[in-house]
Amino acid sequence: MDAAVIAGVLGLVAATACACAWRAGRLRTVEALATGRAQQERRGRWAARLAARLPVSRPVALGLTRPFARPARTLAMGTAIVFGAIAVTFTVGLGSSLGEVMAARDHDAADVTIGVLHPPFQDEEKKARADPGKVIGQQPGTRAHFGTATTSVTVAGVSGSTRVTAFTGDASWAGYAMVSGRWLKEPGEAVVPTGFLTATGQHVGDVITLNGRRAPVTVRIVGEVLDPRYDGMQVLTDAATLKSAEPGLIPTGHHIAVKSGTDAGSYTAALNKELRPLSLTADVGGSEGSSEMIVTLNSLSAVLTLLLVAVAALGVLNGVLLDTRERVRELGIHKALGMTPRQTTSMVLTSVTLTGLAGGALGVPLGVALHGWVMPAMGDSAGLRLPDTVIAVYQAPELALLGLGGLAIAILGALLPARWAARMPTAAALRTE
């Protein structure tokens, strides 16, 4: 595979060089010696006549017609812009998708979390008084909350034990990304990751038996969830489902969503006063590690995007530089007739405007299509099925900005040649022999 990639890159470079070598071989000696005196082009005259009718300045009109005078070079620059737009669009989507996967993995939708370490209670009355769920429910500002308890069971067809997470309360807002089916609604239902379905050969709608420490429990799989933790070998269900299998199951964590307009910090401080007799502490937010990882992914995505933009801009720079060097005498005539440095700059930059817009308009849809093809393949290789929330990450304003990114790449690549053309002395430009 590595050898094929290297051979492909070398072949692409050789194919690109062949076109330039073929043109150089056909170039006459007089033309080669006449530096900056390009052969008069007859192509694009219709575009020049059309641009002359537009309500724009003469330098802008000259720039707009330039792509039609050298279509092959314009095609080469457009190809660089298209590939740049594809790469940038794909990279932006990849960063967003990985962020969605991280958020789905850690389920950080809770505003406040409580880690519970229960002491061994001998008195049922003391055990009831130590229930943090009652304290949370009575706390002003609480919108929703649920507890989580974990245990291990065995499942037919699966070697070893399988982790079970049981919820006390409605956990539909917890941030679990559903791939198919729906979330839990009542006892006797379960939601499982893709890895569990693959290992057991089950599907959404099938019935499985969870063998607990006391008794087996039958549950129906009602949904498939994106959760790569524990290699996907876990079952999510309601705590009431395990009442007979695990009668002593106690929540080891609580997740709280506060009402709109409620400050999470103030809420946490007030809640901690009520939890102090229980020797418990509430914290704002979810997993800090997830946030740090998302920031790291976004930073890497930004750096990669800048590198890809720079590479694409270099392709534009090469084409515009060749074009301006060939047109030195023409630029000198324009300067002698009164074209100012600012007008010269605008003419050169305008010459890549149409190419940049066309490249962005073509590259962005291709980048979206590439992202839509690669992400499911990445998920399949990891044994995951990705939901639409992970794949459909592009928004309309974002796509519009990415489309203008083709123009930005073109302008960025043409800046240096435009500056060189604007600062070139008229006498030096006219000295072509």
201-244 pLDDT, tens digit per residue, is 899 999 999 988 888 899 999 999 998 888 889 999 999 999 88
How many CB atoms are located within 10 Å of the residue 371 CB?
23
Q: What confidence score (pLDDT) does residue 364 get?
A: 95
Q: What Cα–Cα distance (Å) separates residue 374 from each residue in 15, 93, 101, 144, 391?
A: 27, 11, 15, 37, 10
Cα separation of 216 and 245, whole Å? 6
Residue 170, φ and ψ in degrees, nearest 5: -80, 115
Collect all residues with Cβ–Cβ distance below 8 Å to 415 and sequence separation of at least 6: 349
pLDDT, position 118: 53
CA dihedral sign of residues 31, 36, 42, 43: positive
The answer to whether the beta carbons of residues 394 and 368 sit under 8 Å apart is yes
**Calpha distance 267→269 (Å, rounded):** 6
Single-letter amino acid code for the residue at 218: T
Q: Which pLDDT does position 303 carry in this prediction? A: 87
Q: What is the pLDDT of residues 152-208, one digit of tens each?
A: 998 887 888 899 999 998 888 888 889 999 999 999 999 999 989 998 889 999 999
- Domain range annotation of the chain: 38-106+291-430, 112-286
Element (H, E) at 147: strand 142-155
The letter for the amino acid at 202 is: Q
Residue 310, SS3 per DSSP: helix
**Residue 328 contacts residue 35 (beta carbons within 8 Å):** yes
pLDDT beneath 70: ranges in the chain? 1-2, 5, 9, 12, 16, 19-20, 23-24, 27, 30-52, 108, 116-130, 286-291, 293, 428-433
What count of other Cβ atoms lies within 10 Å of the Cβ of residue 3? 7
CA–CA gap between residue 114 and residue 145 (Å, rounded):
11
Which neighbouring-strand residues pair with 216?
Answer: 211
Q: What is the DSSP string of 179-242?
A: EEE----STTEEEEEHHHHHHHT--TT-EEEEE-SS-EEEEEEEEEEE--GGGG-EEEEEGGGG
Residue 61 forms beta bridges with which residues?
Answer: none
Nearest-5° angle of CA 238, CA 242, CA 247? Answer: 130
Which residues make Cβ contacts (< 8 Å) with residue 15, sequence separation at least 6? Answer: none
Whether 232 and 194 have beta carbons less than 8 Å apart is answered as yes
Cβ–Cβ contacts within 10 Å for residue 415, how many? Answer: 17
Q: Determine the topology of domain 112-286 in CATH.
A: Barwin-like endoglucanases (2.40.40)
Report the pLDDT value the prediction gives residue 90, as an integer from 0 to 100. Answer: 93
pLDDT the model gives residue 433: 45
- pLDDT, position 121: 46
CA distance 424 to 334: 12
Position 382, amino acid: A
Q: What is the pLDDT of residue 221?
A: 95
**DSSP letter (8 states) at residue 41:** P
Bridge-based pairing state of the strands 207-211 and 177-181: unpaired
